[in-house]
Chains A and B, each alone.
Chain A
Amino acid sequence: MKRIISLMLVIVLSLALFAGCGETNDVPKDKPSDNNSEQTANENPGEPKDGGTITVALSATPKSIDPVKYTGVYEGNIITNVADTLIKYKQDLSELVPNLATEWNVSDDGLVYTFKLRDDVHFQQGKYQDGRLMKADDIKYSLERSAKESAMNRLSMLDHVDVVSDFEVKCYLKEANSAFLTVLTDSGNVIVPKEEVEGWKEAFGFNLVGTGPFKVVQWNNDDSVVLERSDNYWGEKPHLDGAVFKFISDRNMMTNALRTGEIDVATDLSGESVEIVKSAEGLVLQEVPGLHVGYVYMNLMEGPTKDKRVREAIIRSIDIDQMVKGIYKFDEAERGYLALPPGSWGYDESLESLIPSYDPERAKELMKEAGYEDGFTTQIYVADKPARVKMATILQSFLKQNINVDVEIKKVEWGTFSDIASKGKAPMYGMSWTWYPDPYFFLNYMFHSSQIGALGNGQGFNNPEVDRLLGEAGKATETNERAKYYKQALKLITEEYSRINYSHEKVIYGLTDRVQGFNLRADSQITLTSSEVNVWLNK
């Protein structure tokens, strides 16, 4: 028996050692942020110091950081710190500013975009090139690769790129699409060297090389990605020695890890975690209004909600202010009205008055007119997320109480949810949408008839006039002109009462107090070093 026990002990210890060897270290912490922060966390942090590694926790596990393959914001967060785009959004997302391109202009027909490039940008040294100068050929290669291979069809509007000189390119579009510049800021369209992409092949997704402030040194599947400062970065030198992006899928554990100092930055906080971070010593809460819309879709293709009167009755029977207070007990969101977030330049406050107010009596009349005097039975689908489930529960009680509609709550996990919702099989479903401040990424994806069948327009919104206005907005090159079309489209959309837009959730991060200069962005993008941000660690 003794022999067996000692043998087992030896096996276990050697396995433990062996298994431990491949693992990454838990690196120290500190983190930066971007943009648009309404509250600056640390007002007077003293002189920036060099050194230290920041640990940022991401709530999902990245599968690849090859720009053409990435699909989630959390992957984009790593990519933007390793590689650069031609142009980018300012930290406050108010306008597009130069990055690798110094200037650009658009032809009158909106089909040709000319970019002048910086001439002092080098790639990080990799396995297949030694840190050479970045030139126009690289822009052509990277953008055309994205146009052809992007999993998300990110650059589908791009036809081809012509190299004019070493530091000038012309991009030709298939048809005018003024969202092109915005799309160029996407992490999916960063500039990468051909040698590395072709050398690494599939494994490029774990060995991304770019022109950014940090380079990838280690990829630990399912656990973390380790970045180190790049010595030949063209911009301001980062204060940080490096950064670790660690994957922690459980919110509670992420908050706990922040409290223990194992991570410096906890992303996407909600619920009680917000309160815990607020009240804990040594932790700082940062929040900004997000580019986010929380909504309930109503099926426009079949069932009682096909009737506009029923949709209006449903909206009128819910006290949305009360609902928002009930869902977001820790003030994690603003009350919403329209299908765009107020942070988007297409937002039109005057349209808020078009939303039917809380009026149970009028709701009952409308139900009677529509022939549902006695109510009906329906279902709402939500993904298994606390804020959505609370919303559905509150909605359920309002509808039962005011218009005798029985709502069955179907709580399903994401894979099932997206399948049912996108195919129009749900009478109602609750979800949210967030993207760039450009209205294209909200209105085109959620209300253009070509997106019926995708999750964006799973409800089957189909209005030829809205399609036409969205098309015009895409062709116009002036922002003011585009805004005019989008506002017209938004008005028609709002008048359809096609959904209940109830909230704009905030972006909320928790930081340890040693993180300085972190600046939260409304699009959740994490920037550690840029022309506007340079995160450093105190202590």
Chain B
Amino acid sequence: MLKTILKRFLQIIPILFIVVTIIFVITRMIPGDPAAVMLGPQAPVEAVNDLREELGLNKSISQQYFMYLKDILKGDLGKSYYYNESVVKLITEKFPNTLSLSLVAIIIALIIGVPVGIISATKQYSFFDYISMIAALVGVSMPIFWLGLMMVLVFSVKLAWLPSIGMGSIDNGLWDLVSHYILPSICLATIPAATFARITRSSMLEIIKQDYIKALRSKGLKEKIVVWKHALKNALPPIITVIGLQMSSLLAGAILTETIFSWPGMGKLIVDAISNRDYALIQSTVLFVALIYVVINLIVDIAYLYLNPKVSYEAGKGGE
């Protein structure tokens, strides 16, 4: 198993190299001159040219690429043109904000999604089942932007219960912090909660129809124990895969959620970096997100191995 993990780990390197190259090429292909964007519409021609020179944008693309690769190998991810700060500092500043929001969201999604899925499966074709699956269908198809605006209209503007923007601070008391988390995290949790409910339901349905579950029941084991302990454990692997996938795509969802709620996280950082043509920042944030995807996938695979040792990543090599 250790060997498998190590192997999977080494695979990360070529993947990241490809990501670095692709994102470098793409950022250079989008039209728009970082110097002109930074200085704004009223900038005189000479000022724009001076800034291009200063930023090293007059060098050829291949020169810029090799310089960039060299810097990465040295562990230097570069400096944001726009903020004039090291991108590592910006990412370490913003990532905890996004991570905490995503984790709160994923926990809300798990708390709602998994039990709803289980109950729906055990009470298949019941009223609860229909209602919750319709809700889940609505949930997965919900446009986040619209949902966020509606939640603000209802809970902030009409009812005045919750703040609509920003992140709050523990300096103003625990409620200030918590209240700022509620709307954005629920908004962000909607799609994963609905996805978890659907996947849990189908995975559970498959398991509880199997013979060994029937056997357990016939032995007179309590229904609760049959469902929540024996059936759930075997239904978990596909659910874990989906949790992993959702964790990664939460980062994408966070881009919208953070824009709506002015949440100072990575999502907003990426959007601003792209519109500012902040090359170093775009490259590094995308690289960072790619790294997270890869790492989460690795963790999911390891969890798989742990839950179901029969899964082998050596398969396909023939006869091992």
Contact present for A248 and B262 (CB under 8 Å): yes
Chain A residues whose C-beta falls within 8 Å of the C-beta of B104 in the assembled complex: 12, 16
In the assembled complex, B38 has its CB within 8 A of some CB on chain A: yes
A-B residue pair count with CB separations less than 8 angstroms: 189
Contact present for B41 and A12 (CB under 8 Å): no
Interface of chain A residues 188 through 230 with chain B (CB within 8 A) = 202, 205, 220-224
Contact present for A252 and B149 (CB under 8 Å): yes
Q: Which residue among A16, A71, A220, A445 has the maximum number of chain B CB atoms within 10 Å of its CB?
A: A16
Contact present for A253 and B43 (CB under 8 Å): no
Contact present for A16 and B100 (CB under 8 Å): yes
Chain B min CB distance to A38 (Å): 26
Give 1 or 0 for each of A367-379: 1 = CB within 8 Å of chain B CB: 0000000000000
Contact present for B164 and A262 (CB under 8 Å): yes
Q: Which of A21, A153, A256, A416 contacts B47 (CB 8 A)?
A: A153
Give the distance in Å from the alpha carbon of A170 to the alpha carbon of B104 in the complex. 61
Contact present for B163 and A260 (CB under 8 Å): yes
Give the distance in Å from the alpha carbon of A100 to the alpha carbon of B112 in the complex. 62
Q: Which residue among B46, B153, B167 has the maximum number of chain A CB atoms within 10 Å of its CB?
A: B167
Look across to chain B and name the residue whose beta carbon is closest to the beta carbon of A26: B166
Contact present for B169 and A25 (CB under 8 Å): yes
In the assembled complex, B78 has its CB within 8 A of some CB on chain A: no
Contact present for B94 and A222 (CB under 8 Å): yes
Chain A min CB distance to B141 (Å): 22
Chain B residues whose C-beta falls within 8 Å of the C-beta of A431 in the assembled complex: 41
Q: Which of B94, B152, B181, B275 contacts A16 (CB 8 A)?
A: B181
Contact present for A454 and B100 (CB under 8 Å): no
Contact present for B156 and A260 (CB under 8 Å): yes
Given A12-B103, A415-B275, A415-B277, the answer on whether A152 and B39 have CB atoms closer than 8 Å is yes
Given A19-B100, A223-B262, A455-B36, the answer on whether A246 and B166 have CB atoms closer than 8 Å is yes
Contact present for A205 and B84 (CB under 8 Å): yes
The number of residues on chain B lying at the interface, defined by a beta carbon within 8 Å of a beta carbon of chain A, is: 63
Give 1 or 0 for each of B192-211: 1 = CB within 8 Å of chain A CB: 00000000000000000000
Given A12-B107, A222-B264, the answer on whether A420 and B31 have CB atoms closer than 8 Å is yes
Chain B min CB distance to A202 (Å): 6
In the assembled complex, B220 has its CB within 8 A of some CB on chain A: no
In the assembled complex, A151 has its CB within 8 A of some CB on chain B: yes
Contact present for B259 and A249 (CB under 8 Å): yes
Chain A interface residues (CB < 8 Å from chain B): 8-9, 11-12, 15-26, 61, 63-64, 69, 71-72, 150-153, 156, 202, 205, 220-224, 246-250, 252-253, 256-257, 259-260, 262-263, 412-416, 418-420, 422, 431, 433, 435, 441, 445, 450-451, 453-456
A selection of 23 A-B contacts at a CB cut-off of 8 Å is A9-B107, A12-B100, A17-B170, A18-B96, A19-B96, A20-B168, A26-B163, A71-B39, A152-B40, A202-B84, A222-B269, A253-B149, A253-B165, A253-B261, A260-B163, A262-B156, A414-B275, A415-B32, A415-B37, A415-B277, A441-B42, A445-B44, A453-B45
Among all A-B residue pairs, the 6 with the closest Cβ atoms: A415-B32, A15-B100, A23-B169, A12-B103, A223-B264, A454-B45
Q: A202-B84, A415-B30 are in contact. List 19 more A-B contacts (CB 8 A).
A: A8-B107, A9-B107, A15-B103, A19-B99, A25-B171, A150-B47, A220-B264, A246-B165, A249-B268, A250-B259, A253-B149, A256-B149, A256-B156, A256-B157, A262-B165, A414-B275, A419-B33, A454-B48, A455-B36
